[in-house]
Structures are given as structure tokens and as C-alpha cells.
Structure 1
Amino acid sequence: MIPKPNRLGRVTGPLLLAAVLTGTATACDGPPTARPHPGAGHPTVSAADMPLPDRVPVTSVGASPTAWQLPMDAYQYTPAQSAEVQGAVYSLANSCMRDLGYSTDLPTRLHPGPDHNAFRYGPVTDAQAAQGYRWMLRKAAPNGAGALNPTSEEYGALLGKSRHGRNGRPVPTGGCLGSARGALDSRGGRVDLPDVIRAIADDSYALSQRTAQVQTVFHSWSACMRQAGYRYPDPTAPARDKALVGTAPSGTGPVPAAGPHEVAVARADVACKRQVGLLSVWYSVERTMQSEAAARHAAELAPVPAAIARTVRNATAVLTAGGHPG
């Protein structure tokens, strides 16, 4: 998959393990980090839950992530909600850390990250193609400006690895981050959403590529690219071509500008997607697969929208009153 945003933003290290929101949020001056490729260390659904459809009706969609609303999007925090809830988690964690004698200052003003599906199908507009494939790396790369560097002692208190704080007070179970999430879970809130949501969202992307309908349009796209002078088996390949785009920047390094060859490939990529109707076919297959999987998991998914709404209300109370959920 094209790089997808991580839920936590630019906070790195052990704090990354504490990221719990299904959505995207970035610190006020930084873009989100890349999310792992589907299948990389997270739950998956069974083949019985997501069988490959023979053929689905194709719905025409525009070249914008807002036009690609998939069924699982309704069961995830929006980027704005994710930013608010994560900010509240950090606000409560800061208060907890102060009670333990630390001066930790996690960011509480977070900017929403890109749409859930912003990177899903690679470059799809001429403006994106003009930056080659680097626009995805720029949006996915961490911004080191003002990056946090908690000490190992602070990490221990944040994550619950220590028994006592600097002033001798006991560290709450799960650490200050765990305590913060627990507070937002009150009165029906749920910061940690069911794993099946992300599993369906990610597996539909991977499994849809095995369907005859998507493979046919991939072959048409590949033939179109060959006519333009480029050989790629499918539209996920250019962004993974290290000879073309290099590797994602490490640490806080800048993303180099795309060269003429990369831009030319991206422009051909976008033109071929339009010519063969790739976006509409791929999206339609994914939407069908997610809808069918959602029906099979209806009991698990039914409480999620209300839990998200309650969690967001709890977060708003924390950020506006500077206290605990009311």
C-alpha cells in the first residue's frame, strides 16, 4: 500500500506503542508518520469473513479521497476527532505526570492528519503527479521540529513500567497514558476501537487486488504504462520502486524533490488510471468487500459509533475545562 498515516503523529519511540486511535492526528507543526503496510503486525480477518467477489457493479468516483468513503470509515475516528481525543489523552497524561513530580509536556494542540484514504490508491491528480511520489513521503514523514525526548524515567511513568514516580507516589496501572485512556473510556467511551475495524479496512485493500475484476484493470493499467515507456505490473509498484523514489527519510531529514523521470512516471500513472477507469473499479470492489464483512461483524460494530461520540465528548470536556470528563 502507499504510505498511510499513523495514528499518533510525530511522537516517536516507546510512545508510538501507546498510540490507540483509529484515525490520524499530527502535532501542530508536523505531518503524520507512515503507517505499516497491511498485514504488518496487526490483526487480519479470516478468508471466510472476506471472500473474493466474482464481479461487482462499478460506481464512478472522482479523484479525491473524500469521494472514496468506504464502509469502515464510519467506524473510525475522523482525523479531526482523532486529533481531539489524542490531545485529551496527552492533556490528562501531563496532569498525571505532574502529580508524579515530572515536567513532561506532551502536545495537546494537534492538527488533523490526512483523510483515512489519502494515500490509498497513490497519485490520482495532476497536482500530485507533479511531485512524483514524494507528496506521500512528505505527508508521511515525521517533522522533528520541537520533537519530544522523554527520559527513560519519564517513559517508565508514561507507560507503567515504573512502580513509583520521581516524588515517590505510585504510578497508576498502565502508566499515565493508560490512566488517561481509561478516563476517556468512562460513561461508554472507547479509545481503543475493535481490531476488526482496522483488519477489514486493511485486508480489503490487499485482498481486493486478487479479484479478477481488479486484476483485469491492473493489467489494462500496466499495458497503458508500457505504451508510455514504463514497465510496472500494477499501480502499487512505482511507489515501491527504490530506484525511482529512493527510500523514506529517516529521523527528521527532509524529503528530496522528485526528479524529472519520477514526475514523468507519476504523470503517466495518473493518466493511465483515468484511461482505464482504475479508481472506480478498485474502489467499488473494496466497498463491496467491506460491506459484506461489516454485515458479518454487525454485532461487534454496532456499538462503535456511539462509543466514538461518547469518547469525543469526554475529550472535549477535558480540553475545554482542563479537567476530567464530566
Structure 2
Amino acid sequence: MLALALLSLAGCAAERDTHPKGLSAPAVNAYDEIGFPLSDYIFSIQEKTDLENAARLTVADCMRDRGYPVDWPARNPQGATWRLYGVIDIRDAKELGYQARLPEGMTGQDADAAEKNERDGLFAGWSAEKKLAYEGNAPEATGAPSAGATADASGGNGCRDTAAGFHPADGTGSDAAEALQGKVGQKVEEQRAAKDSTATWSSCMKAAGYDYKGPWDANDSPEWHGEQHPGERQKAVATADARCKLSSNWVGIRVALEKQYESDAIRDNLDKLKENKARDTKLLEQARAVIARH
């Protein structure tokens, strides 16, 4: 993970006022109002989907050439309900509580089951020979293909390895920028401005009749775990949560600090980030070329 080590938070760790003077922190009401500097160096949801679909097509071509055709549907972009700061839109909170927006009539449990069925269905009914063509010389004879084998019985690679280039596992590129962004997020939570906003949020919630130390205590409360559809209390708590985030500027302060520290991190790691971005751009070009050929 040398590349991760090369991307440091030196600028963020430097001595600075933990409640920066003159910090501009506009209120944030919806996720489409949020953007971060490091996002320019991280694969978008669509780009990640393109890489996944190119990998599937590459493996499918290999399997066809070996006499084992597969019919794998293309994946659609996932993660449109990304919630870095929990629920912040009061309208969504009133309707959905803490649940993500899903297709009409689908519950969270339905979505989890659909994802599992789609994943498991990729390998349903495969013979041992077909699995071997995919995996290579794997020790497992049954079940979904394993994660470890690379060579088939003839000494070549399994078909899944033909797509390895679309899933870099060396911690560089977009992964390194995401790891750096995570470190920035931790730094933000250490700041007095962020801590003060959480205390203000908690006081606001208490005034509304709910006792939570912080937004994630409300968001992840065990009360909601058994609810396939949000109950009235979940909606009420989520609505108060979103309102208190707005009145305390809980999100706005974090976004402002995140942008400040990410800009510092980019300055201190610019050469490596540019190098990673160039590699990722070539990878996406290759992936989209594969998709265009099919």
C-alpha cells in the first residue's frame, strides 16, 4: 500500500485554529448542493459502473470462447441515494424517515435480496467444468466461484482473471484518493466547529423531544431495524434530525471544513494525484471501448 503512504495529510495535520476564523459555511439543504475537491480524483458512480460492466463483458467473452456462454445483464448505476451526512432533506425525512428511496413497492429488505439474487444468479446451475473455466484450477468443486484461484487445468488463467485490470487492487488511483478523503473526514470530526455543531444539534433534538448524542445515533437507532417501511416515529425523528441539522448548520460546517482540508491535501499530493488520475482515465477509456464493441 505504498501509494496510500505517499498520499499524506501533511497539510491537514499542520497547526491551525481548530475553529478557523472567517470560515464560510453556507447552509446545505440537499445533497445536490455538495461537491468536494477530491471528487475530481475519484471514480463517479457511473464510472464505477462502466468498469464493472466492462469486466463482465470481458469475462463473458472469455467464457464464450471456451465454450461456456454466459448471459450476464449489465449493471445500472447504484448509490444515487448516497448519504454521507445522513438525512438532510426535510421532505425526504417526512416521507422516508431514514430509509433510502427505492423503486415503487420495494423495501430495503427487498433491495438487499435482489442484490444477493442477482449476484448468486450469475453462477446458478454451473457445472464443475464451467466453474473451472471461470476460476482456473480452483480447489472448490461446488458453490459460487471462489476468490483465490488463478490457473486453469491447462496452466492458463481462469476467465475471471481476464478482467482483473478493471479492478485495480493496489490501493492506487481512485482508491487512494478515497482513502485520503476518509482521512480528511476524520480530521474534520476532530475540529471544535464540528463538535460544537453536534452539541447544538443534540440540544435541538432534545427540545423536540428526542434524546440522541449525535445524528448517527438517531440514524442508526435499533428502533428502525425491523421496519420494512418507516413508521410514524421514525419519520418524526428523521424530520427533527433534518431540521436540527439545518438550524445547527451541522452539514454546512462539515462541508466547509472538508473542502478546506481537501484543498490542502490536494496541494500536498498534487503530483501523485495527477499521476493516478491519468492512469484512471486510461482505464476508463479501455472500459468504454469494451462496452462500445458489444
Deviation sequence 1:163-197 (CA, Å, 0-9, x none): 32xxx54442xx43332243799xxxx99625431
Partner of 2:28: 62
CA distance in 1, matches of 2:187, 2:58: 39
Seen in structure 2, the aligned counterparts of structure 1 residues 114 and 64 have a Cα distance that, compared at 3 Å, is farther
**Map of 2:141 onto structure 1:** none
Match of 2:43 in 1: 77
Offset of residue 308 of structure 1: 2.9
Structure 2 counterparts to residues 1-326 of structure 1, below 5 A: 48=10, 50-51=12-13, 54-56=18-20, 57-107=23-73, 109-115=74-80, 118-129=82-93, 130-135=95-100, 138=108, 141=112, 143-144=114-115, 146-147=118-119, 148-150=121-123, 153=131, 156-157=135-136, 161-164=149-152, 169-172=154-157, 175-182=158-165, 193=173, 195-242=175-222, 244-246=223-225, 256-322=228-294
Asked whether the 8 Å contact 1:184–1:311 carries over to 2, the reply is no
Contact 2:166 2:283 in 1 (8 A): no
Q: Which of structures 1 and 2 has the larger relative contact order (alpha carbons within 8 angstroms, sep 6+)?
A: 2
Aligned residues: 261
Compute the displacement of 1:156 (Å): 2.5
Q: Against the structure 1 CA distance between its residues 263 and 276, is the aligned structure 2 distance closer, same or farther, given a 3 Å change threshold?
A: same
Query: By percentage of residues, which structure has more helix?
Result: 2
| Cα distance between partner residues in 1 of 2:171 and 2:265 | 22
Q: Cα–Cα, structure 1 residues 278 and 178, in superposed 2: closer, same or farther, change >3 Å?
A: same
Unaligned residue ranges in structure 1 (runs of 5+): 1-42, 248-254
Residue deviations 1:10-69 (CA, integer Å, cap 9, x gap): xxxxxxxxxxxxxxxxxxxxxxxxxxxxxxxxx797674642852341231532223211
Distance 1:203 1:114, change over 3 A: same
Identity rate, percent: 20
Is residue 97–residue 236 contact of structure 2 (8 Å, CA) maintained in 1?
yes
Post-superposition shift, 1:316? 1.8
Give the aligned CA root-mean-square deviation in angstroms: 3.2
CA distance in 2: counterparts of 1:51 and 1:135, whole angstroms: 35
- Give the structure with higher Rg (CA): 2
Query: 2-side partners of 1:49 and 1:241: how far apart?
Result: 36
More displaced stretch, 265-274 vs 142-151: 142-151
Normalised by the size of structure 1, how large is the TM-score?
A: 0.69
TM-score (norm 2): 0.76
Residues 190-231 of structure 1 show CA distances to partners (whole Å, capped at 9, x for unaligned) of: 996254312122222233112101001111000000000111
Cα separation, partners in 2 of 1:321 and 1:163, compared to 1, 3 Å: same
Taking the aligned partners of 1:76 and 1:213, their CA distance within structure 2 comes to: 27
For residues 115-169 of structure 1, the C-alpha deviation after alignment (integer angstroms, 9 at most, x for no partner) is 5x821001111232121112279498452454425257356247561532xxx54
- Alpha-carbon distance in structure 2 between the residues aligned to 1:123 and 1:267: 8
Over 3 Å counting, the alpha-carbon distance change for 1:191 and 1:227 in structure 2 is: closer
Q: Distance in 2 between matches of 1:225 and 1:238?
A: 10
Residue matched to 2:139: none
CA–CA distance in 2 between the matches of 1:49 and 1:195?
20
Distance 1:76 1:204 in 2: 14
**Cα deviation 1:268-296 (Å, max 9, x = unaligned):** 00111111111110111111222212222
5+ residue gaps, structure 2, are 102-106, 137-144
Please tell me whether the aligned partners of residues 72 and 122 of structure 2 are also in contact (alpha carbons under 8 angstroms). no
Distance 1:180 1:149, change over 3 A: closer
| Equivalent-residue separation in structure 2 for 1:215 and 1:64 (angstroms) | 21
